[in-house]
């Protein structure tokens, strides 16, 4: 990270730490949306990290997007900022004008037939904060980006384990606001969503480690701090390693995406992105297990911060594909390359 | 207080001008290793082949960072890193020169006397010096500071009595760098230790007794010192500073790519065996390990980059070694889970079975040598601020 990126990281930490605490997260799980914090995030340009400066954005790279998404994970920010970043990037990549308002990202590929003509009719599952979206963005099987209106939609409200909205949205002859072919695989949203969730997992894992170190250093049993016990130290070391591995590969994937894109004829960023989400999702198990174990009963209560993180980790593990799915992709790549070429491929 | 920066692994990209070196090393290895079986390649840094080490030295790829005036090549740590990861990934037999190249050479260059440097460094750079490390003793394992083997100052040098153990290659090495007690009166057991550079062929009274490991091979030894008289100039570095020097030496052991690449041959063999008959579950499991390999390489590179920038990534290096160790120890079990072929001894079964048979047996040592996993995790815990 360069100096500007370090400053961005630090200022986000201060901003979110000042804005978000246990009471806030508890309240947001009930009301599911906070216009005030959303507006402040938008004012700071957090949703437009990847949009070029000429279009009014931050003009950042995917490394900046990583920094913002990781901070969102670390502070359990209950708003679709990573999704908004993705929407901004998709819109500009498709050559469409940036669109104000909350974007609903459609995780699954849309059948081209469902958006034939100027109206859309289909149902989208697990749309993050779908009920609050002012428009929706998705990719079709023909790699066409479509922007859909909010009119003529119905939301069936659902949520992930962290009570973040993951709604079922029915489009019923919904107006198509804009559409354009885009140089991305049809599954582009899944790849990029997986990358952003990996960064969020890295952030939440960081916070789990911070909480675990703090708690075990303060809590005394048998006349000394828990952190003085070798059994606890060994677990914290394992937790730190799991966190660091996710953080490193997620950042590497963002850099690979900046350098090689997602649809190049040669080696693009797919391998790194798949590695990031596979590693991140797999790491959720030790990270959540150890964090809860060293916290004892208090960590299992709603009154303590840890659960806001671990319930997100358990949800994000599966969103945009779990480790099994991404591992299968990587396994196919490895077998296709063959053993003799694996090292060459890893170092390319 | 937890310092997150000490757990971050900034991305490091090799300078583009190192690409030709990598290509040269690959070409060299493709030729030299053509007739080495996968089993022999799976010995990795336990593979002993003085002829190979000499050839690598002739190419200028041993002792690369040693100063030119002592026969070294004055090249950067990054250039060495490229060579090391290539030879390890290929499973080249680097055992003969491994310790000398990785830690003994740099230590002598840093701490040695002019005479020690002139005598030994050129041989290291030629790939002709084999070093043993005399640290552990029968009663001093993880508690290394409790070593008892004594070096007593006498009129014509140092008189050494005691026993070292688990000393890899002591029966073949030219030299040993040993951690010995020079002062028993000191209150602290950490003080009163010194390091010695011992010419194993010149000094009498040193007897290595090979200990067969569980594979049946004998690469490590119990080494007894009975009134072994070292010359006065055998002291390496400063008297009484052995502990500090050893800690710096062990940091070399933790910072390289070896801790995730010594099982690489098994991963490549497993991939080839699975080709055409892998279930979705098998693909997912192999893929997860490939993701680990990608993560570990990024982390290891980052450590190399931080070292190159003059930073102290000691916590990050320990984390990589810990994770790399688990990665390597998982692979043999995973292989057995996914493929029905039984592990085999040399001379029976197909290549994959022999490689698996070898690495199943070697794997327990990965989390023991160069410091146990428990000690390593203690170091990480200290870095987290909880020790």
Element holding A337 (H helix, E strand): helix A323-337
| B16 within a domain of the structure (yes/no) | yes
Residue B263, pLDDT score? 87
CATH of the domain at B22: 1.10.540.10
List alpha helices for chain B, DSSP H: 19-32, 38-41, 50-58, 77-90, 95-99, 105-111, 114-125, 242-255, 258-261, 264-274, 280-308, 314-338, 351-366, 373-383
Confidence label for A264 from pLDDT (cuts 50, 70 and 90): confident
Residue B254, pLDDT score? 74
Percent of chain B with pLDDT over 70: 100
Cβ within 8 Å of residue B86, ≥6 positions away: B22, B25, B26, B29
Domain C-terminal end among B129, B157, B188: B129
Of A90, A163, A156, A81, the C-alpha closest to A123 is: A156
Instruction: Say which of A232, A236, A335 has its CB closest to residue B275.
Output: A335
Q: Are A81 and A41 in contact (CB under 8 A)?
A: yes
Contact B295 A249 (CB under 8 A): yes
CA angle A318, A323, A329 (to 5 degrees): 120
- Residues of B within 8 A of A206 (CB-CB) are 4
d(CA B241, CA B353): 47
- Residues of B within 8 A of A343 (CB-CB) are 89-90, 264, 268
Domain C-terminal end among A138, A163, A181: A181
- Give me B37's structure tokens: 């079986």
d(CA A233, CA A227): 6
Confidence label for B378 from pLDDT (cuts 50, 70 and 90): very high
d(CA B303, CA B254): 10
Domain C-terminal end among B129, B151, B184: B129
- Does B145 share its domain with B111? no
- Does A26 share its domain with A126? yes
User: Which of B288, B322, B337 is most worth mutating to test chain A (most A CB atoms within 10 A of its CB)?
Assistant: B288
- Does A165 share its domain with A218? no
- Residues of A within 8 A of B386 (CB-CB) are 213, 216-217, 225, 227-228, 232-233, 236
Tokens 């986000």 appear where? A12
Nearest CA in chain B to A270: B291
Structural domain for A10, as ranges: 3-181
Q: What is the mean pLDDT of residues A191-217?
A: 98
Contact A343 B264 (CB under 8 A): yes
Instruction: Say which of A217, A247, A331 has its CB closest to residue B278.
Output: A331
Contact B267 A244 (CB under 8 A): no
Instruction: Say which of B272, B280, B294 has its CB closest to residue A339.
Output: B272
- Does A156 share its domain with A194? no
- Does A192 share its domain with A278? yes
| B62 within a domain of the structure (yes/no) | yes
Residue B371, pLDDT score? 85
Residue A265, pLDDT score? 81
Contact B278 A272 (CB under 8 A): no
- Provide the mean pLDDT of chain A: 97
Contact B89 A238 (CB under 8 A): no
| Model confidence pLDDT, tens digit, residues B114-165 | 999 999 999 999 999 999 999 999 999 999 999 999 999 999 999 999 999 9
Nearest CA in chain B to A211: B2
Decide which of B82 and B307 is more confident: B82
- Residues of B within 8 A of A230 (CB-CB) are 374, 378
- Does A150 share its domain with A276? no
- Does B17 share its domain with B119? yes
From B79, B253, B258, B289, active-site residue:
B253
- Does A166 share its domain with A215? no
Contact A241 B374 (CB under 8 A): no
Residue A308, pLDDT score? 98
Structural domain for B371, as ranges: 256-383
Of B232, B300, B225, B233, the C-alpha closest to B262 is: B300
- Does B149 share its domain with B238? yes
Q: Are A169 and A155 in contact (CB under 8 A)?
A: yes
- Residues of B within 8 A of A233 (CB-CB) are 377-378, 381, 386-387
**A312 to A128, A132, A204: CA distances (angstroms):** 13, 19, 8
Element holding A344 (H helix, E strand): helix A339-346
Q: What is the mean pLDDT of residues B330-348?
A: 96
User: What's the maximum distance between 2 C-alpha atoms anywhere in chain A?
Assistant: 73
Residue B161, pLDDT score? 98
- Does B334 share its domain with B219? no
- Give me B228's structure tokens: 């072994």
- Does B193 share its domain with B272? no
- Does A69 share its domain with A215? no
- Give me A127's structure tokens: 């749309």
User: Which is it for the CA torsion B166, B168, B171, B177, positive or negative?
Assistant: negative
- Does B9 share its domain with B124? yes
| B249 within a domain of the structure (yes/no) | no
| B51 within a domain of the structure (yes/no) | yes
Residue B13 has pLDDT above 90, yes or no: no
Domain C-terminal end among A181, A205, A236: A181
CATH of the domain at B190: 2.40.110.10
- Does A154 share its domain with A231? no
CATH of the domain at A33: 1.10.540.10
- Residues of B within 8 A of A204 (CB-CB) are none
Eight-class DSSP state of A98: P
- Does A22 share its domain with A151? yes
Compute the nearest-CA separation of A264 from chain B (Å): 20
- Does A36 share its domain with A154? yes
Q: What is the mean pLDDT of residues B82-106?
A: 96
Confidence label for B171 from pLDDT (cuts 50, 70 and 90): very high
Residue A192 has pLDDT above 80, yes or no: yes
Residue B328 has pLDDT above 90, yes or no: yes
Instruction: Say which of A227, A279, A333 has its CB closest to residue B386.
Output: A227
CATH of the domain at A240: 1.20.140.10
Contact B387 A279 (CB under 8 A): no
Q: What is the mean pLDDT of residues B231-255?
A: 89
How many domains would you assign to chain B? 3
| Model confidence pLDDT, tens digit, residues A142-164 | 999 999 999 999 999 999 999 99
Contact A340 B385 (CB under 8 A): no
Count the Cβ atoms, other than its own, within 10 Å of residue A280.
Answer: 35
Range list of β-strands (E), A223-333: 224-225
Residue A309 has pLDDT above 90, yes or no: yes
- Does B159 share its domain with B75? no
Residue B259 has pLDDT above 90, yes or no: no
Count the Cβ atoms, other than its own, within 10 Å of residue B285.
Answer: 22
Contact B284 A338 (CB under 8 A): no
Q: Are A241 and B319 in contact (CB under 8 A)?
A: yes
Tokens 């989400």 appear where? A277
- Does A176 share its domain with A196? no
| Model confidence pLDDT, tens digit, residues A102-122 | 999 999 999 999 999 999 999
- Residues of B within 8 A of A216 (CB-CB) are 386
Compute the nearest-CA separation of B116 from chain A (Å): 38
| Model confidence pLDDT, tens digit, residues B284-311 | 999 999 999 999 999 999 999 998 898 9
Check if B241 is active-site. no
- Does B264 share its domain with B228? no
Contact B291 A209 (CB under 8 A): no
Contact A323 B269 (CB under 8 A): no
Contact A206 B4 (CB under 8 A): yes
Of B262, B312, B258, B249, the C-alpha closest to B103 is: B249
Q: How many CB pairs under 8 A join A and B?
A: 180
- Does A162 share its domain with A111? yes
Eight-class DSSP state of B343: P
Contact A327 B283 (CB under 8 A): yes
Instruction: Say which of B271, B293, B377 has its CB closest to residue A234.
Output: B377
Residue B248 has pLDDT above 90, yes or no: no
- Does B219 share its domain with B296? no
- Does B80 share its domain with B157? no
| B152 within a domain of the structure (yes/no) | yes
Q: Which of A11-25, A243-257, B209-223, B251-265 has the lowest mean pLDDT?
A: B251-265
Compute the nearest-CA separation of A135 from chain B (Å): 36
**B166 to A103, B212, B218, B255: CA distances (angstroms):** 63, 10, 11, 22
- Residues of B within 8 A of A199 (CB-CB) are none
How many domains would you assign to chain A? 2
Contact B7 A213 (CB under 8 A): no
Of A89, A98, A40, the C-alpha closest to A62 is: A89
| Model confidence pLDDT, tens digit, residues A59-72 | 999 999 999 999 99
Compute the nearest-CA separation of A64 from chain B (Å): 14
User: Which of B16, B83, B290 is most worth mutating to test chain A (most A CB atoms within 10 A of its CB)?
Assistant: B290
Residue B354 has pLDDT above 90, yes or no: yes
Compute the nearest-CA separation of A27 from chain B (Å): 29
Confidence label for A1 from pLDDT (cuts 50, 70 and 90): confident
Domain C-terminal end among A152, A181, A210: A181
Phi, psi of B19 (to 5 degrees): -60, -40
Nearest CA in chain A to B292: A279
Q: What is the mean pLDDT of residues B68-80?
A: 95
d(CA B334, CA B199): 44
Q: Are A45 and A57 in contact (CB under 8 A)?
A: yes
Residue B379, pLDDT score? 93
- Does B105 share its domain with B214? no
Of A288, A241, A80, A341, the C-alpha closest to B30 is: A341
Percent of chain A with pLDDT over 70: 100
Q: Are A164 and A64 in contact (CB under 8 A)?
A: no
Count the Cβ atoms, other than its own, within 10 Å of residue A98.
Answer: 15
d(CA B368, CA B54): 29
- Residues of B within 8 A of A238 (CB-CB) are 322, 377
| B204 within a domain of the structure (yes/no) | yes
CATH of the domain at B368: 1.20.140.10
- Does B120 share its domain with B167? no
């Amino acid at each position: 990270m360069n100096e500007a990126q370090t400053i961005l990281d630090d200022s986000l930490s201060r901003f979110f730490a000042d804005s978000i605490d246990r009471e806030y997260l508890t309240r947001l799980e009930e009301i599911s949306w906070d216009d005030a914090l959303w507006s402040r995030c938008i004012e700071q340009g957090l949703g437009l990290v990847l949009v070029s400066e000429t279009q009014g954005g931050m003009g950042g790279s995917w490394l900046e997007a990583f920094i913002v998404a990781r901070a969102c994970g670390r502070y359990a920010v209950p708003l679709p900022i990573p999704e908004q970043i993705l929407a901004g990037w998709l819109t500009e990549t498709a050559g469409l004008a940036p669109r104000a308002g909350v974007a609903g990202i459609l995780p699954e590929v849309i059948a081209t037939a469902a958006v034939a003509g100027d109206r859309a009719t289909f149902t989208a599952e697990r749309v993050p904060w779908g009920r609050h979206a002012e428009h929706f963005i998705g990719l079709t099987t023909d790699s066409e980006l479509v922007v859909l209106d909010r009119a003529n939609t119905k939301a069936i409200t659902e949520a992930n384990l962290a009570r973040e909205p993951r709604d079922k949205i029915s489009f019923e002859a919904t107006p198509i606001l804009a559409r354009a072919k885009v140089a991305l695989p049809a599954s582009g949203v899944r790849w990029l969503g997986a990358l952003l969730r990996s960064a969020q997992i890295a952030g939440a894992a960081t916070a789990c480690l911070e909480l675990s170190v703090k708690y075990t250093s303060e809590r005394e049993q048998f006349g000394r701090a828990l952190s003085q016990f070798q059994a606890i130290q060994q677990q914290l070391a394992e937790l730190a390693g799991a966190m660091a591995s996710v953080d490193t590969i997620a950042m590497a994937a963002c850099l690979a995406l900046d350098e090689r894109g997602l649809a190049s004829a040669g080696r693009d960023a797919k391998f790194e992105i798949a590695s990031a989400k596979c590693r991140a999702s797999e790491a959720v198990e030790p990270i959540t297990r150890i964090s809860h174990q060293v916290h004892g009963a208090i960590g299992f209560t709603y009154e303590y911060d840890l659960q806001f993180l671990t319930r997100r980790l358990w949800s994000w593990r599966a969103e945009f594909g779990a480790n099994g799915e991404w591992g299968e992709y990587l396994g196919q790549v490895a077998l296709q390359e063959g053993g003799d070429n694996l090292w060459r491929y890893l170092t390319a | 207080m937890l310092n997150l920066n000490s757990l971050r692994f900034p991305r490091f990209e090799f300078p583009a001008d190192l690409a030709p070196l990598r290509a040269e090393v690959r070409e060299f290895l493709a030729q030299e290793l053509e007739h080495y079986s996968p089993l022999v390649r799976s010995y990795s840094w336990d593979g002993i082949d003085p002829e190979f080490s000499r050839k690598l030295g002739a190419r200028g790829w041993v002792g690369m960072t040693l100063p030119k005036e002592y026969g070294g090549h004055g090249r950067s740590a990054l250039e060495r890193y490229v060579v090391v990861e290539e030879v390890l990934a290929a499973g080249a037999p680097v055992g003969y020169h491994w310790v000398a190249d990785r830690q003994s050479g740099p230590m002598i260059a840093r701490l040695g006397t002019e005479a020690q440097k002139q005598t030994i460094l050129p041989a290291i750079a030629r790939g002709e010096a084999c070093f043993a490390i005399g640290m552990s003793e029968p009663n001093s394992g993880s508690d290394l500071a409790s070593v008892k083997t004594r070096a007593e100052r006498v009129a014509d040098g140092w008189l050494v009595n005691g026993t070292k153990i688990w000393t890899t290659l002591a029966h073949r090495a030219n030299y040993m760098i040993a951690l010995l007690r020079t002062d028993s009166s000191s209150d602290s057991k950490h003080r009163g230790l010194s390091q010695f550079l011992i010419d194993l062929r010149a000094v009498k009274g040193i007897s290595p007794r090979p200990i067969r490991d569980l594979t049946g091979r004998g690469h490590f030894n119990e080494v007894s010192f009975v009134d072994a008289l070292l010359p006065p100039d055998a002291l390496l570095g400063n008297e009484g500073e052995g502990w500090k020097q050893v800690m710096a030496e062990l940091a070399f052991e933790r910072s390289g790519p070896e801790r995730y690449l010594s099982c690489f041959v098994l991963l490549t063999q497993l991939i080839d065996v699975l080709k055409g008959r892998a279930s979705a579950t098998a693909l997912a499991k192999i893929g997860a390990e490939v993701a680990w390999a990608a993560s570990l390489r990024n982390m290891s590179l980052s450590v190399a980059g931080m070292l190159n920038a003059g930073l102290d990534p000691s916590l990050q290096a320990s984390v990589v070694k810990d994770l790399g160790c688990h990665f390597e120890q998982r692979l043999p079990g995973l292989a057995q889970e996914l493929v029905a072929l039984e592990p085999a001894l040399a001379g029976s079964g197909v290549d994959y079975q022999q490689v698996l048979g070898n690495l199943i047996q070697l794997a327990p040592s990965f989390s023991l040598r160069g410091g146990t996993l428990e000690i390593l995790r203690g170091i990480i815990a200290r870095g987290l601020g909880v020790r």
